[in-house]
Amino acid sequence: MDMEGLLRKLTEEDGVSGYEKKVAGIAAGAFSPYVDDTRTDNLGNLIFLKKGQGNSPPRLLICAHMDEIGLIVTKVEENGFLRFTSLGGFDARTLPGQAVNIYGRDKVPGIIGFKLPPLYTEQEKGQGVKMEDLFLDTALTPEVVRETIAVGSVAAIERKYLTLQHNSRAGKAFDDRAGIVALWQCARELHKIRHEADLYLVATVQEEVGTRGAVVSTFGISPDLGIAVDVCHGDFPGALEQETSPLTKGPVVTSGPNIHPFIAEKLLHVAAEYHLPYQRDVSPGPTGTDARAIQITMEGVPTGLLSIPLRYMHTSVELVDLEDIKVAGLLLARFVAAVDRAFVEGLVCL
Amino acid sequence: MKELIQKLCASFGPAGREGQIRAVIAAEIEKLKEEYFVDTLGNLVVRKGPAGGKKILVAAHMDEIGLMVTYIEENGYLRFTNLGGIMQQTLPGTRVFFENGTVGVIGQEKNKETREPGLSKYYLDIGAENRETALAKVKIGDAAVYLAPLHQEGKRLTAKSLDNRVGCAVLLETLSRLSAATLPGEVFFVFTVQEEVGLRGAQTIAYRTKPHYGLAVDVTRVGDTPEPEFKTNVSLGKGPTVKVMDSAVICHPKVTNLMMDVAEKNNIPYQPEVLERGGTDAGAIHLSRDGIPTGALSIPCRYIHTPAEMVDLDDVENGIALLQELLKCEQW
């Protein structure tokens, strides 16, 4: 499978937070030729080990989350319409009119229904869209709905992978399956490069509801160093330049209190050495990524963050540049190859 | 059952000050001839069943929401902050009591705004004329809880702190009905501290006991009242709930499926639950160490975090039945 084939397959599959099994299955198949071991932990994190050649190999963790934001049924109305809340951070404005797959006893197609402006009451005018006013419509009879779907059934946005101009691709769940693809690219590249470190590549679960997969997988692996690979806001009209990173200019190396300065520095150094395009940004607090969990696991883990620029985050038209993903993978591979025992020991004596 | 719940609800035990409620629970456990220990943060732990098999942690928090004194004014009024999720609109006119028995009444400053004014606009009146007489009874850092004794109306009970003394009652009653011989593995029944301020007791006891599975027993919101805040099918009297998700956990499908299977096999009514706001000890347990598959069983409860919480006795009985069958089952 090529990189684009994997991205398409991963992003057309459904895997909302807590229900990532099918996505894990695709990832397990794709990574298996390039890794030495695959296991799944108690919460469903998918953990690949790529052994290093060092005598006393440092333990590196690089993770990207495989869950996507989704919906969960909170109430089955008398007439068969379904009320829901979100698993992760959906903006209610992006939901009306979307198609969904609802996972009850069977997979049921549905759409997100809503009241149209001509039917608004005076009070409702100018109020905006509220999640509590939306509902799922399966067009099934109430009896069939009750047999098939229950409170707690989850739903994922249905969206086919879109091929736009040049290297631009769009769809749902690119946050953060683009990151999974970067990890895969890294594994593939490392197949050709000697590296000392034992590398744990983790496809984490439940990032969108609070980096929960990273909390437990980092504990289980207890690495010497951890890097989260996620997406960051791309550029678009009306966005502030300092808050976004343009697409096609390479992955973004973050600095800030969540990040060990030597890791950021090493990523930048490696990118320059191999003439890989990169960008920088600064995050003032705990980042909204798995990096926040990695850093404070056990006695503390020196942490880095590499992000792929993406427009329209948490919508069904997340847009990325294929080359940015590829470069992220190559940069990670070169970084891993450049890390030895001395480097990780140097991280704990600032 | 009612008497046990009544006794538990009458006890004082805000988050971080669980001494009295812990003593009441310990006395019940001694009556059952079970052994227990208290951990570093004050969680009370009863171990039952044969070692060697799968270990299950069952947690019900014994703490309740409350108030903590922050300042004593010249004229003897007390200012306070919240311990857990206090609902301001229930405060004026509510009585509270301190660990030493001192009773106070909550008053509110003049408020012309329609929105909630914030806790700084409320005060506590313990009948003291000045700071000195107030200090004879209460000092800064003392905590108080609602004074709201239990009352029964038909099958329904109302009282303060049914969240989560009803969960404690479910654990105690399950302990008394289960014989160790029927348990396939070791069960840790834990009465946790400081749930209301962030699932803190559950975090440390999960780390210490290293269970294979976790289960929280707590209360949950209902949608069967006029214009409820959240849209949910959960109703009083239709059985305990099997939690699928809340703000702090997505329950492990293995545990929720097992709970639903056990309920169906034993003809115990249950309701699936998605709680949009709020969390339980399951949130802390499942993130312990390298992850613990965890679920939660809840008793539907109206008016949560007010002085008049309400549960249905049938739900309590069915909750006990479900917990009992679940712990006996071999499929963990």
CB contact under 8 A, B273 and A215: no
Please tell me the predicted confidence (pLDDT) of residue A241: 87
Q: Is residue B152 part of a domain?
A: no
Contact status of A53 with chain B (Cβ, < 8 Å): no
Nearest to B306 by CA among B21, B93, B78, B24: B93
* Active-site pick, A207, A241, A318, A323: A207
In this prediction, residues A233-242 reach a mean pLDDT of 92
Rounded-to-integer distance, Cα A151 and Cα A146, Å: 10
Q: How far apart are the first and last CA of chain A?
A: 43
Decide if pLDDT at A81 tops 70: yes
Q: Do B115 and B183 fall into the same domain? A: no
CB contact under 8 A, B233 and A152: no
Neighbours of A197 (CB within 10 A): 27
Please tell me the predicted confidence (pLDDT) of residue B42: 98
Q: State which residue of chain B sits closest to A298, comparing Cα positions.
A: B289
pLDDT band at A140 (very low <50, low <70, confident <90, very high): very high
In this prediction, residues A69-79 reach a mean pLDDT of 97
Neighbours of A76 (CB within 10 A): 20
Boundary (domain end) residue, out of B113, B146, B179: B146
Q: Is residue B155 part of a domain?
A: no
Q: Do B132 and B50 fall into the same domain? A: no
pLDDT band at A54 (very low <50, low <70, confident <90, very high): confident
Q: Is residue B221 part of a domain?
A: yes
Q: Do B199 and B301 fall into the same domain? A: yes
Rounded mean pLDDT of chain A?
96
pLDDT band at B117 (very low <50, low <70, confident <90, very high): confident
Q: Is residue B154 part of a domain?
A: no
Decide if pLDDT at A326 tops 70: yes
Q: In terms of residue numbers, what domain contains B29?
A: 2-64+160-328
Q: Is residue B313 part of a domain?
A: yes
Q: Do B306 and B203 fall into the same domain? A: yes
Residue type, A138: T
Query: Using a CB-CB distance cutoff of 8 angstroms, which residues of chain A are in contact with residue B232?
Result: 74-75, 151
Boundary (domain end) residue, out of B86, B113, B146: B146
- Tell me the three state secondary structure of residue B57: strand
Query: Using a CB-CB distance cutoff of 8 angstroms, which residues of chain A are in contact with residue B276?
Result: 74, 85
Decide if pLDDT at B114 tops 80: no
B227, B290, B332: best to mutate for the A interface, most A CBs within 10 A:
B290
- Tell me how close the Cα of A41 comes to any Cα of chain B, in angstroms: 8
pLDDT band at A26 (very low <50, low <70, confident <90, very high): very high
Q: Do B184 and B297 fall into the same domain? A: yes
Where are the strands (E) in A66-184, listed by range?
Answer: 70-76, 82-87, 99-103, 107-113, 135-137, 154-157, 162-163, 168-171
Contact status of A43 with chain B (Cβ, < 8 Å): yes
Choose the closest CB to B290 out of A75, A87, A220: A220
pLDDT tens digits along B216-256: 999 999 999 999 999 999 999 999 999 999 999 999 999 99
Q: Do B97 and B213 fall into the same domain? A: no
Please tell me the predicted confidence (pLDDT) of residue B111: 82
Please tell me the predicted confidence (pLDDT) of residue B64: 98
In this prediction, residues B21-28 reach a mean pLDDT of 98
CATH number at residue B224: 3.40.630.10
- Tell me the three state secondary structure of residue B302: strand
In this prediction, residues A124-147 reach a mean pLDDT of 93
Q: Do B225 and B298 fall into the same domain? A: yes
Please provide residue A170's backbone torsions phi and psi, each rounded to the nearest 5 degrees: -140, 160
Q: Is residue B101 part of a domain?
A: yes
Q: Do B42 and B172 fall into the same domain? A: yes
Q: Which residue segments constitute the domains of chain A, with CATH numbers given?
A: 3-68+172-347 (3.40.630.10), 70-157 (2.40.30.40)
The ipTM (two decimal places) reads 0.92
Both tokens of A325, joined, read 């993903």
Number of domains in chain B: 2
Decide if pLDDT at A290 tops 90: yes
Decide if pLDDT at A349 tops 80: no
Rounded mean pLDDT of chain B?
97
Q: Is residue B243 part of a domain?
A: yes
CATH number at residue B85: 2.40.30.40
Answer whether the bond into residue A176 is a cis peptide, omega within 30°.
Answer: yes
Query: Using a CB-CB distance cutoff of 8 angstroms, which residues of chain B are in contact with residue A72?
Result: 244-245, 274
How many residues comprise chain A?
Answer: 350
Decide if pLDDT at A199 tops 90: yes
CB contact under 8 A, B231 and A132: yes
Question: Which residue pairs, CB below 8 angstroms and at least 24 apart, start in B153-156?
Answer: B155/B237, B155/B312, B155/B313, B155/B314, B156/B236, B156/B310, B156/B311, B156/B312, B156/B313
Q: Is residue B151 part of a domain?
A: no
* Active-site pick, B195, B196, B273, B309: B195
Residue type, A73: V
Please tell me the predicted confidence (pLDDT) of residue A143: 97
Query: Using a CB-CB distance cutoff of 8 angstroms, which residues of chain B are in contact with residue A75?
Result: 223, 231-233
Decide if pLDDT at A68 tops 80: yes
pLDDT tens digits along A5-25: 999 999 999 999 999 999 999
Choose the closest CB to B232 out of A41, A42, A75: A75
Q: Do B141 and B167 fall into the same domain? A: no
In this prediction, residues A156-182 reach a mean pLDDT of 98
How many residues comprise chain B?
Answer: 332
Q: State which residue of chain B sits closest to A206, comparing Cα positions.
A: B250
In this prediction, residues B298-317 reach a mean pLDDT of 98
Boundary (domain end) residue, out of B146, B170, B201: B146
- Tell me how close the Cα of A66 comes to any Cα of chain B, in angstroms: 16
Query: Using a CB-CB distance cutoff of 8 angstroms, which residues of chain B are in contact with residue A200?
Result: none
Q: Do B250 and B170 fall into the same domain? A: yes
- Tell me how close the Cα of B199 comes to any Cα of chain A, in angstroms: 15
A19, A22, A42: best to mutate for the B interface, most B CBs within 10 A:
A42
> Between these two residues, A125 and A38, which has the higher pLDDT value?
A38
Q: Do B260 and B164 fall into the same domain? A: yes
Rounded-to-integer distance, Cα B182 and Cα B186, Å: 11
Decide if pLDDT at A325 tops 80: yes
CB contact under 8 A, A220 and B291: yes
Please tell me the predicted confidence (pLDDT) of residue B32: 97
Q: Based on the residue annotation, tell me whether B3 is a catalytic residue of this protein.
A: no
Contact status of A87 with chain B (Cβ, < 8 Å): yes
Decide if pLDDT at B113 tops 90: no
Q: Do B191 and B138 fall into the same domain? A: no
